[in-house]
Homo-oligomer: A and B are copies of this chain.
Amino acid sequence: MGEKLERLKEHIGKVTDLQFAAAVLSWDQEVYMPENAVGPRSAQLATLSSMAHELFTSDTTAAMLEAAEAEVAGMDYDSDDASQVRVTRRIFDERTKIPTELVERESKATSEAFVAWRKAREADTYATFQPHLSELVDIQVEKAGYLGYEDHPYDALLNQFETGMKTAQVEALFNDLRTGLVPLVHEIAAQPPVDDSFLEEGKYDQQRQWDFTLLLLHDMGYDFTRGRQDKAPHPFTIEFGNSDVRVTTRLFDNRPQSAIFSTVHEGGHALYEMGSPDRFERTALAGGSTLGLHESQSRLWENQVARSLPFWRYYFPILRAFFPAQLQGISLEQFHRAINKVEPSLIRVEADEVTYNLHIFVRFELEKDLITGALKVADVPDAWNAKYEEYLGITPPNNALGCLQDIHWSHGTIGYFPTYSLGNLMSAQIYDMAREQIPGLEKGYTRGEFAPLLSWLREHVHSHGSKFTAPELMQREFGQTISAQPLLTYLREKYTTLYGL
């Protein structure tokens, strides 16, 4: 490696240290911080963020970047060195394009909006959140202008979370997906409902649930010498480098599947971060790539693996040993049907894998229209409800269960939702390749063997760190563009069997 690039990497290492330090403080805030420490913790986080931002967007970085660019000129696009410089440049440009004044205005507006959103959701009063959402939308439109775009202002926002994807591509993918999904949902709805009362109405000891989730993490290949699981009201994964990747889960007395799938989901994210190569540590290439790719990993483990029948052939007897009374008389097949119950519902985060993407379509379409001005902020509740009726056949009885349900908009986050569905699409594509290339893959699950899958994911996905965008990685590793068909085929096959369609 050249001397200029080496210097740039050292410099970026310090920025990364500050960001990881902030992440440790955030983790602590979510899981262990005493309640009255919120104020000082905010000050500490603000200082860390602003110092990291100043250091990263400094003239020093600009000069080091230019020097490094000259040094790697002509190198292979895929090489580590060229990628270091390219990815650092991309983030640098993104951060420096937006004026500090707008960053500060956004930060202030979102702080206020978040508080207003919480109150509005509690009191079910959209009107009190509406002016905040208006301001946030205006700021996002302004931001899109600074970030720049060719075709659609939403491109600029989407690009922050899913580099290299355009609104038109997402529209086309979502159209394909919707065309296949809607009839499937209707066919399933025509079948007799699945009985999951032994889960929903059961009482499952939380300590035993916890132990079971630790077993799952262990078996997936999660390395407890480089991570830990804690409890949090809203499960998340967070990393401070590839040697400290932590997950959280939440436990209820009933619905043990909540903790189980939440742990496996976060475990999928964590394995991606743990698989990032050591040589990328403390650089722009460290850790998982786009949000869509990240979600492909969590969803693959959660759905394709952990909601499969072979998986439960191994784990259901163990779960029954943990909960003999609660699962007495329940067969493997009954259990498998219960954890795969499809039911159009109002709340995205509780949706099954068939209807989940319908929730995303609603948000994506509203966001696009808000950004172009085709939809007025005042009309969001009506538009939301109409789309729920259209896609899911149900209308929210109030806005708390409707357009106020998600935290994202209150954070000023627009352009994020589509990455969930892109992740679902890629999870199916990647899983198809895994099944094709790993002999006896699912047979292995029946023995609790996941090492072949993890090795394969390490090789084809994790080992690239964040070197490639999602389209780049899908092309290089699998010769594919992102498409809807594999997910549709997977869902159609699985639910045809499950529901006897």
Residue numbers of A with Cβ under 8 A of B are 13-14, 17-18, 20-22, 24-25, 28, 32-37, 39-41, 43-44, 46-48, 51, 223-228, 230, 240-241, 243-244, 246, 281-282
Contact = CB atoms under 8 A, between A and B. Distances in A.
B228 A40 contact: no
B37 A240 contact: yes
Contacts of A230: 32
B32 A228 contact: yes
A190 B201 CA distance: 69
Contacts of A223: 36
Contact of A48 (B17, B35, B41, B281): B17
A246 B44 CA distance: 17
A52 to B, nearest CB: 10
B36 A243 contact: yes
A40 B225 contact: no
A240 B40 contact: yes
Contact of A24 (B28, B225, B244): B28
A239 B228 CA distance: 24
SS class, residues of chain A in contact with chain B: helix
B224 A40 contact: no
Contact of A21 (B21, B226, B241): B21
Contact of A18 (B34, B47, B240, B244): B47
Contacts of A20: 40, 44
Contact of A43 (B13, B25, B228): B13
Contacts of A18: 47-48, 51
A47 B228 CA distance: 24
Contacts of A17: 43-44, 46-48
Contact of A35 (B43, B225, B281): B225
Contacts of A243: 34, 36-37, 39-40
Contact of A34 (B21, B36, B40, B228): B228
Contacts of A33: 244
A280 B238 CA distance: 33
Given A13-B47, A34-B228, 15 more contacts: A17-B48, A18-B47, A18-B48, A18-B51, A20-B40, A21-B22, A21-B44, A24-B25, A33-B244, A34-B224, A34-B227, A34-B244, A34-B246, A37-B240, A39-B243
Nearest to A20: B44
13 contacts: A21-B47, A24-B25, A24-B44, A28-B28, A34-B244, A36-B225, A36-B226, A36-B244, A37-B244, A40-B241, A40-B243, A40-B281, A40-B282
Contacts of A25: 21, 24
Contacts of A51: 14, 18, 51
A34 B240 contact: no
Nearest to A227: B34
Nearest to A47: B17
A33 B21 CA distance: 13
A487 to B, nearest CB: 35
A230 to B, nearest CB: 8
A24 to B, nearest CB: 5
Nearest to A40: B241
Nearest to A38: B243
B226 A44 contact: no
Contacts of A13: 43, 47
Contacts of A47: 13-14, 17-18, 21
Given A21-B21, A21-B48, A24-B24, A244 B40 contact: yes
A24 B282 CA distance: 20
A286 to B, nearest CB: 10
B225 A34 contact: yes
- Counting chain B CB atoms within 10 Å of each CB, which of A41, A46, A224 scores highest? A41
Contacts of A28: 24, 28
A37 B241 contact: yes
A287 to B, nearest CB: 12
Contacts of A24: 21, 24-25, 28, 44
A138 B459 CA distance: 52
A396 B356 CA distance: 70
A244 B41 contact: yes
Nearest to A50: B14
Given A36-B226, A227-B34, A228-B32, A240 B21 contact: no
Contacts of A36: 223, 225-226, 243-244
A33 B46 CA distance: 23
